[in-house]
Structure formats: structure tokens, C-alpha cells
Amino acid sequence: MLGTFGMVAKVYPNNTVRSGATDKFTDYYLDAQYQYLLEGHALTVRGTYYYERQNWDGSYPRGNSSIASGNLNGFTLSATYALDNRWTFSAAYSQSNGSANAALYAVTGPAGNTLSATPNTNNYVLQANYQPTQNVKLQLQYSGFTKFNGLTSNIDGLGRSPADNNTLWLNLFFAL
């Protein structure tokens, strides 16, 4: 499967005052999916790429954006393997990049110095599901970061690394 979608939006910087200049966002998306099915097995591979043009015509004059125009882009790749409708294993990798914009993405250190002003972030997700019955599922998920807001170390000026944002989830779902 191959697809595309997008959006053009004009947004007022202050949604309670609907007059004056607007910010304009133009988004383009491309996505693809491949699925291979066998008796008791399923493999699904997915990919998404996006590109967004940003024109801060309403926010820039107010100081809500440090740039007049910019962009944001990124991609996600994922794969899922299912075994006997009971076990599912997934892995995904995402990367986002974009124009530096201190008003939106500034990371300020304890001394007031700007450490980064970009949305550049890389992360991955690993997940395993076990579904013993139709209405019960046990899920284990780990999300990890290798870059956060453009930084690979000292992401807050206090020595934290991107990995300090990693999370481990254990969920039990019941459907009645």
C-alpha cells in the first residue's frame, strides 16, 4: 500500500482573538505499508515521511516565533510480527528535524544559556504483547531516546541525557 495525505491550515496565534494575521502550515505526508500473511504468522512493515512548511506571519511579529518561516520534517519506520494471534512483537524508529526556533524549542540551561533551539529528536519503541484470550492482553513497551531537541547529552544543562526520558510500560488490558 502506498498513500499520501496533507493539510493546509491557517491558525490565529491567539485562538480567542480571531482576527489579524495568521500562521500558515502546509503539511505533506507519504506513507507505505507491506503485509505478509501466512497461517499463524503475520508480518507488517510500515513507513511514514512528513514535511511541513511553516509561515509564522501572525506569531513572528508578536515574538511567539523567533523565525518568520521554517520547516519540520521526519519519518517513522516500524515492523510488527504476530504469531498465532497470541504474541505480537513490534519495533519502531522515528526521527524529526526542523528549523531552529528559540521561541518554540529553546532548551535553557541553569545559567540562562540556550543549549538548543531545534526540534531534532530521535527515538525508538520496542513492544511485546501477549493475548491469552480475546478480551485480555498483556503489553510490555520500552521507549528510548538517542537525541532530544537537538542534543545527545546534557539536554537540560543539568547533565541529563536523552536516555533519561526513556520509559518502560507494563499494561494489562481487560475488555468486558
Give the 3-state secondary structure of residue 163: helix
CATH number of the domain enclosing 127: 2.40.160
The tens digit of pLDDT for each residue in 59-94 reads: 999 999 999 999 999 999 999 999 998 999 999 999
CA distances from 166 to 37, 108, 119, 144, 153 (A): 33, 21, 17, 4, 14
Q: Is the pLDDT of residue 14 over 90?
A: no
Burial of 27 (0-12, 13-18, 19+ CB in 10 A): middle
Full residue range of the structural domain in which residue 61 is found: 2-174
Q: Give this prediction's pTM.
A: 0.87
Total number of domains constituting the chain: 1
